[in-house]
Amino acid sequence: MVQILVVEDNRSTAKLMKIILEQAGYDVLLAENGLVALNKMDTHHIDLIVLDIMMPEMDGLEFTTLIRNTNNNIPILMVTARHLPLDKQQGFLAGTDDYMVKPVDEDEMILRIKALLRRAKISSEHQLHVGKVTLHYDSLTVTREQDVQSLPQKEFYLLYKLLSYPNKIFTRIQLMDEIWGLDSESTDLTVNVHINRLRKRFSEYPEFDLVAIRGIGYKAVKHVD
């Protein structure tokens, strides 16, 4: 069973999260700060971490930075009362995979956790399968039966991202930040250019489409289970 570590110094909040996650079918461990969480990780297998930012001893940003500096790619979801854009930027720069502001919608949190776990599984396998199509992360290639296409890095990452979360709408800014980086000098029009190239490359592939959401961004629509 999937085991989740909840790192939260407020006991009432931690207990509530434990109940919610256990009802969703997960095993849950609790830690009141980053230092305790590190000790729990030494003695338990953890599949995903849900943590607050503001905690004593070691806060969520310090903890996440430390984890990422050891090349640990465990999925991390920050759930915090800090809601300003700068707070979110700091969270993502530290290495969190997702960020939610309290009070959270319980159903949305569960959906985000499922998506992070799915992504972690895909990442560990370094392959993504969509019907007859396979995306090979290490070689940046896409294969369909005898057809093999090698993609430029950014095009591959963009396609991989969209197909990893079918039907999820990503804004152009979100895609720019994740694939090109927060410090990139490219504009969000770069995303449009890459999407158009991908559409041309895979116009004959019936397994998926890349759909523009007017005024917002893009999503991938899969036509196979």
Q: Per the CATH hierarchy, to which homologous superfamily does domain 3-122 belong? A: Response regulator (3.40.50.2300)
Per-domain boundaries in the chain? 3-122, 126-222
Of the ranges 33-42, 118-127, 144-153, 166-175, which is most confident? 144-153
- 36-54: per-residue pLDDT in tens? 999 888 888 888 999 998 8
In this prediction, residue 122 carries a pLDDT of: 65
* Whole-number Å distance between alpha carbons of 138 and 63: 29
pLDDT in tens, 209-220: 999 998 899 999
Q: Does domain 126-222 have CATH number 3.40.50.300?
A: no
Model pTM? 0.57
